[in-house]
Chain A
């Protein structure tokens, strides 16, 4: 039997729920010569700010058991270049969902960037990153306070008249449900969870931190159970759809995230280990569905 992998994410129908997570797939174009991008459900583009940013000094990457740390620090060409150059170029080779990931240092910056993304034809969903752990005074300052996250959400929703707004939450909070509810109450159309966990490594020979930024965001297979738990809690507490993200590395992980309540599933650090991870997961899904007697993926969302 032909398996139905499609899911409905707000107004957008995705051919499958597999989405490379922001920051782990560039602007899509970097992989256009290597992969058939059109097999993906959607792409969440690299986090974009109002002005171009170089990001943090190197080293920006560190190894860890079952995962990795990054402190890239939102390197990006700025929202105007995204809209003028990156999106039109991507749209020539990619015909599935495009998620613009917006970051900022003030409510005003979020509002301005989201308004521009909302007016851009090539963008389907706006994902607001209030959870980047690698920028001082950046997103995470908004993502760890329910009041601040609600303020950003309201401001952004007021200017996004055409497109669904997802708020990407930080796991570095005491109560993820409180954050999620604050977003929902402020009008968010959906939530992405989770971003990376704040961590660090020390080079014990040199007696220095591995990352030039001292701390970085921990991601990879090791965080999967924590991310799954947060998706489960939030999906049961909120009515708006959730994109589950955190340590997903296989078709089985995708199904587990969906059973926990995710409508779509983002694959992050695994792309860095294996640039072919998303197409491989999508190819693997039908046989795993067959094994588990699943005909349509949308039937399993939040069934546990």
Chain B
């Protein structure tokens, strides 16, 4: 874990209520998520890392509460205190040859760096993304440029297959030896019930410290209590008590 100052290089609406935040600073950051001090709020807010390069990192976020609305209003050039190197992410080595990635809404964001790692290892990657409606779609172009197959579903049928990600999976019948999912709990539960074989899911919980020492985000798992921020946020599907 490191605490560093990053500068907002871009903070732009890219889909309905969804912003892309590019932070300039130390690049090639480790970890599954970062914890950002938003001016005016007491606790930091956790955000999944969507991408990282030599110049810094990219996050996607939705304006769901006061903190994220405040973040959306911050102009380019604003300096932010960021904790990096947090969380245990998806294990790309759990996949032998063919991976299936299933994202719901902004759950697509942490799947993108996973897709990059899997492709770098020469593995086949199939991606199924689900959104409520066309206006909420993110990362479609990025995944299509990177992955073998990308399938879309929307609840209202405004883009791709009409229905849930599970409908898109049934229509696609993808080959895979390991699956990875991130999105709303009900979606991940349905995905884990539908899909056979090894799988991992990324959970979300209100956090205090974000670094494993306050025990504010401990959940019960098949292996006993686990901290979402430190032992997760990614857990094996059989460990999660839905």
**Could you tell me which A residues sit within 8 Å of B by CB distance?**
23-26, 30-31, 33-34, 46, 54-55, 58-68, 70, 72, 75, 220-221, 269, 271-276
Residues on A with beta carbons closer than 8 Å to the beta carbon of B209:
24, 271-272, 275
Q: Are A54 and B42 in touch, CB under 8 angstroms?
A: no
Task: Tell me the minimal C-beta distance from A135 to chain B in angstroms.
Answer: 14
Residues on B with beta carbons closer than 8 Å to the beta carbon of A31:
211, 213
Residues on A with beta carbons closer than 8 Å to the beta carbon of B237:
none
Contact of B212 with A by CB under 8 A: yes
Given A55-B215, A61-B217, verify A67-B206 contact (CB < 8 Å): no
Q: Are B211 and A275 in touch, CB under 8 angstroms?
A: yes
Q: Are A61 and B216 in touch, CB under 8 angstroms?
A: yes
From 39 to 74 in chain B, residues with beta carbon under 8 angstroms from any chain A beta carbon are 41-44, 67
A273 to B210, CA, bound (A): 9
A230 to B64, CA, bound (A): 39
Residues on B with beta carbons closer than 8 Å to the beta carbon of A72:
214-216, 218
A-B contact pairs, 27 of them (CB 8 A): A24-B209, A25-B213, A26-B213, A26-B215, A30-B211, A30-B212, A30-B213, A33-B1, A34-B1, A54-B220, A58-B217, A58-B218, A59-B205, A59-B206, A60-B216, A61-B206, A61-B207, A70-B208, A271-B214, A272-B43, A272-B209, A272-B214, A272-B216, A274-B3, A275-B3, A275-B83, A275-B209
A278 to B142, CA, bound (A): 42
Contact of B225 with A by CB under 8 A: yes
Closest Cβ neighbor of A35 among chain B residues = B1
Q: Are B225 and A58 in touch, CB under 8 angstroms?
A: no
A63 to B43, CA, bound (A): 6
Contact of B146 with A by CB under 8 A: no
Q: Are B219 and A275 in touch, CB under 8 angstroms?
A: no
Residues on A with beta carbons closer than 8 Å to the beta carbon of B41:
63
**Could you tell me which B residues sit within 8 Å of A by CB distance?**
1, 3, 37, 41-44, 67, 81, 83, 205-209, 211-220, 225, 230
With contacts A63-B67, A70-B216 known, what are 13 further pairs, Cβ within 8 A?
A30-B212, A30-B230, A54-B220, A58-B205, A60-B206, A60-B216, A72-B218, A220-B42, A269-B42, A271-B213, A272-B209, A273-B43, A274-B81
A72 to B216, CA, bound (A): 6
Residues on A with beta carbons closer than 8 Å to the beta carbon of B218:
54-55, 58, 60, 72, 75
Task: Tell me the minimal C-beta distance from A134 to chain B in angstroms.
Answer: 11
A24 to B209, CA, bound (A): 8
A24 to B214, CA, bound (A): 5
Task: Tell me the minimal C-beta distance from B213 to chain A in angstroms.
Answer: 4
Closest Cβ neighbor of A63 among chain B residues = B43
Kindly name the residue among A54, A55, A272 whose own CB sees the greatest number of chain B CB atoms within 10 A. Answer: A272
Given A60-B217, A70-B208, A275-B211, verify A54-B225 contact (CB < 8 Å): yes
Closest Cβ neighbor of A25 among chain B residues = B213
Task: Tell me the minimal C-beta distance from B126 to chain A in angstroms.
Answer: 32
Task: Tell me the minimal C-beta distance from A193 to chain B in angstroms.
Answer: 21
Task: Tell me the minimal C-beta distance from A60 to chain B in angstroms.
Answer: 5
Kindly name the residue among A66, A221, A271, A273 whose own CB sees the greatest number of chain B CB atoms within 10 A. Answer: A273
Residues on A with beta carbons closer than 8 Å to the beta carbon of B205:
58-59
Task: Tell me the minimal C-beta distance from A133 to chain B in angstroms.
Answer: 15
The 3 A-B residue pairs whose C-beta atoms are closest, nearest first, are A26-B213, A30-B213, A61-B216
Q: Are B215 and A58 in touch, CB under 8 angstroms?
A: no
Task: Tell me the minimal C-beta distance from A222 to chain B in angstroms.
Answer: 9
Q: Are B206 and A75 in touch, CB under 8 angstroms?
A: no
Task: Tell me the minimal C-beta distance from A287 to chain B in angstroms.
Answer: 20
Task: Tell me the minimal C-beta distance from B232 to chain A in angstroms.
Answer: 12
A220 to B41, CA, bound (A): 12
A59 to B218, CA, bound (A): 9
Residues on A with beta carbons closer than 8 Å to the beta carbon of B43:
61, 63, 68, 272-273
Kindly name the residue among A46, A61, A64 whose own CB sees the greatest number of chain B CB atoms within 10 A. Answer: A61
Task: Tell me the minimal C-beta distance from B234 to chain A in angstroms.
Answer: 17
Kindly name the residue among B1, B43, B220 whose own CB sees the greatest number of chain A CB atoms within 10 A. Answer: B43
Residues on A with beta carbons closer than 8 Å to the beta carbon of B1:
33-34, 275
Kindly name the residue among B83, B208, B209, B214 whose own CB sees the greatest number of chain A CB atoms within 10 A. Answer: B214
Q: Are B225 and A75 in touch, CB under 8 angstroms?
A: yes
Residues on A with beta carbons closer than 8 Å to the beta carbon of B217:
58, 60-61
Task: Tell me the minimal C-beta distance from A254 to chain B in angstroms.
Answer: 20
Name the contact of A58 in the complex, choosing from B37, B81, B212, B219 (C-beta under 8 A). Answer: B219
Q: Are A273 and B44 in touch, CB under 8 angstroms?
A: yes
Residues on B with beta carbons closer than 8 Å to the beta carbon of A55:
215, 218, 225
Task: Tell me the minimal C-beta distance from B44 to chain A in angstroms.
Answer: 7
Given A70-B208, A273-B37, verify A63-B214 contact (CB < 8 Å): no
A221 to B225, CA, bound (A): 30
